[in-house]
Amino acid sequence: MEKRISLATTQLDVTPAPLAERLARAESLVTRAARAGAQLVALPELFNTGYAYRDENFALAETVDGPTAQWMKQVSSRLGIHLAGSLLLRDGQDIYNALLLYAPDGRVWRYDKNYPWGWERAYFRERRAITIAETDLGSIGMMLCWDMAHAELWQQYAGKVDLMLACSCPPNLSQPIYHFPDGSQITGAQMGPVFASMRQAELQVFADTPAQQCAWLGVPFISSTACGQVDTPLPNPMGSFLGFLPAAPWLVGHLPKVGQMKVRAGVVEAARILAADGRQLAGLCSEQGETFVLSEVAIPAERPQPRGKQPRPPVSWIMYFVSDTFLTSVSLGTYARRPLYNE
């Protein structure tokens, strides 16, 4: 006989703020979701710090027994829920973007982001491994954000999970505004046909792909996200800008002020709960702000098996190149210069 479990996905504003403030806002959301009947609550990626490309990220990375992990454990226990969210985690001399899932009894599962998106590679490294959390709710496969675009990760969960969980916080960089202190700016529309081809990429990655892949796996899906606007400097802005120029050479006049360039973008609407056939059961819009939505999903009595041949994610090659090759290569030097800590 199938069982039904109640899931809640959340949105927190993306703007960085002190840890105590962000945890207090998260706790308010989680408590409300638990009181509404949620058995599992998903917080956004990097929910404890907010999202920005800044060197302060190195100092914000915590250890596995740090304040955010302890908070998650305590809140999960007090409310009797499974609680998921990601943070920058210092592991020896390296930093990872770690998705933690806590059970009420204190058990914890960790998944490290396999594919840092572009500029993220300046602040944490990748780890090529999956995680299946064997919980009382079922076997839960875990992912983070841009990982969802990679078919081989979905394939590794095939026939092994009852539910897929992803936390995310993706800036909508298919529609960016690059701005400078003198008030001038470059919009996505000014960057030419190559960049225009990436418009709507956020829907391909964060709506179409999970619906497609979960329907293939035959399991429900939950993903969280942030809301608001990302407004951030860039790691190695000159390297990034020089890479843009071949596709948009008319932007060369901005070159002298690139060192002070920032990017502003909304956050992709990626908070959703899907049924095992890919239908959306619940979701959130950015305009709703910091809130949650709840839905029940069905977990079948027998482990679902993939339905036919795995489909290819509907994501263009240019998105993989920009993230996994170009922006990653210009960001690695920032990570190499990170402060090192004694273990």
Residue 142, classed as helix, strand or coil, is strand
The predicted model gives 100-120 an average pLDDT of 98
Domains and CATH numbers, the chain: 3-170+197-247+266-336 (3.60.110.10)
The predicted model gives 309-329 an average pLDDT of 94
Residue 343: is its pLDDT beyond 70?
no
The predicted model gives 62-66 an average pLDDT of 96
> What pLDDT score does 123 carry?
98
The amino acid sitting at 113 is K
Give the residue from 148, 114, 109, 112 showing the smallest Cα distance to 270.
148
What is the tens place of the pLDDT at every residue in 157-207?
Answer: 999 999 999 999 999 988 899 999 999 998 888 887 777 777 778 889 999
Q: Are 7 and 294 in contact (CB under 8 A)?
A: yes
Partners of 112 in the beta sheet?
Answer: 98
Give 155: exposed, middle or buried? Use CB within 10 Å, 0-12, 13-18, 19+. middle
Residue 341: is its pLDDT beyond 90?
no
> What pLDDT score does 193 carry?
77
Q: Are 75 and 106 in contact (CB under 8 A)?
A: no
> What pLDDT score does 174 carry?
83
Higher-confidence position of 342 and 261? 261
Q: Are 207 and 217 in contact (CB under 8 A)?
A: no
> What is the pTM assigned to this prediction?
0.96
Q: CA–CA separation, 338 vs 124, rounded Å?
A: 10
Give the confidence band of 211 by pLDDT, cuts at 50, 70, 90. Answer: very high
Alpha helices in the chain (DSSP H): 19-35, 56-60, 67-79, 151-156, 192-196, 201-203, 209-217, 237-244, 317-321, 328-336
Query: By mean pLDDT, which of 12-21, 61-70, 147-156, 295-304 is the weakest?
Result: 295-304
SS (H, E, C) 265-321: EEECCCCEEECCCCCEEEECCHHHCCEEEEEEEEECCCCCCCCCCCCCCCCCHHHHH
Q: CA–CA separation, 34 vs 79, rounded Å?
A: 7
Partners of 214 in the beta sheet?
Answer: none
Q: Residue 180: CB partners within 8 Å, gap ≥ 6?
A: 254, 257, 260, 261, 262
pLDDT mean across residues, the chain: 95
The predicted model gives 305-312 an average pLDDT of 94
